[in-house]
Copies of this chain bind each other. A is one copy, B any other.
Amino acid sequence: MVQIPKPPAPEPPAPRSVPTSADVARLAGVSRATVSYVLNNTSAVRISEPTRRRVHDAARELGYVPHAAARSLRAGHSRTVLMPAPSFPAGPLYSRFLDELMGALGRLEYTVVQYGSVGLRGDEAARAWAELRPVAVLVPGSGPGPQGVEILKRAGARAVVTLGHEAVDGAHALLMDHAIVGHSAVRHLHDRGRRRIGVVVPVEDGLKVFSAPRLAGARRAVRDTDATVTELPLAYDERAAARLAARWDSLGLDAVFAYNDEYAMLLMRALQDEGVRVPADTAVIGADDLMLGRLLRPRLSTVHLELPSGRDLAALVDRAVHDPGAAPERHEVLGAAVVHRESS
């Protein structure tokens, strides 16, 4: 086979490497220091207007973008707020909260980085996060242990904030005790005269962090009363709901807190298909106050959750960063209010 000789490339595509401030300096005919001064508008130093222009032009021509790693290495700190991606499916509520939070932190000049920590658990995860030397770490759900917090602080994190059901030593905590949700729902049912109350507990693993406290709260609501709470495991699946509905009579329940609005819709449909009248035979209440509850017939009673505002959390982070020595703050931030509609 004849080897076709490659013609000499007219212009070797020159794998133009990434331009640095030195390149800018060279092109502008100034020193690296001057480049830095100009591009950062350093106020302590006055640079003549012609020089400024030459530097800016050179930077633009080369498409120069500063290297964040180099900068923060030299500076000894960054304004990165690290947030591990949550380990549970984020509902619309939580998504909106995150967006708000990111926006608020962005406005405070922090760079929010959601870190996809896959398969790392406990301290390993904390170490991985620590490598990025974030100025603050915001952990949703079940966070790192106290050890993890210590690792992060040793790595220069000036604030660690957990966002979930339990506080961790050394970290600020925004506590969201979902027990209050179950408690509100079941107390409402009790107030409406119901006594044999079912509580749906999703079998999905990721939801345990929410479902367990909601159930516990439900239990607490009937303690010292004549009412009972029955745990009802349920998969988010039509057939599972149908099976549960099929044995509904045998359960002898007159009310059910369905974990949230989506499960409530699922269960209510199955019950109605089975001939159970809502709310006459069985009262139903959900949680999260989603739009869909308003669209069901009967309209779904629900527990409206009030999450902390993203701005407030951002403010807490900022405060903590400015004063890392302060004692960890602990706030109960989950509000719950029953929205009574027709299903209960």
Contacts and interface: CB of A to CB of B under 8 A. Distances in A.
Interface of A: 16, 18-19, 63, 65-70, 72-73, 78, 85, 89-90, 92, 95-96, 99, 102-103, 105-107, 111-119, 127, 130-133, 150-151, 154-156, 236, 238, 262, 265-266, 269, 291-292, 294-295, 297
A74 to B, nearest CB: 10
A106 B120 CA distance: 10
Given A65-B130, A95-B95, 5 more contacts: A18-B133, A66-B131, A105-B116, A238-B295, A292-B292
A96 B295 CA distance: 25
A142 B103 CA distance: 19
Contact of A127 (B65, B70, B151): B65
A115 B113 contact: yes
B63 A154 contact: yes
Contacts of A130: 65
Given A16-B154, A114-B85, A156-B18, A133 B69 contact: yes
Contact of A132 (B68, B99, B119, B131): B68
Contact of A113 (B89, B114, B156, B266): B114
Contacts of A19: 154
B131 A294 contact: no
A95 B236 CA distance: 17
Contacts of A127: 65
Contacts of A69: 68-70, 72-73, 78, 132-133
Contacts of A266: 291, 295
A130 B59 CA distance: 14
Contact of A89 (B63, B95, B102, B106): B95
A95 B85 contact: no
Given A63-B151, A131-B66, A106 B90 contact: no
A133 B117 CA distance: 20
B295 A269 contact: yes
A118 B113 contact: no
A68 B114 CA distance: 16
A321 B175 CA distance: 42
Nearest to A272: B297
By Cβ-Cβ distance, the 4 closest A-B pairs, closest first, are: A106-B118, A114-B114, A112-B116, A102-B116
Nearest to A67: B133
Given A18-B154, A65-B155, A265-B292, A102 B73 contact: no
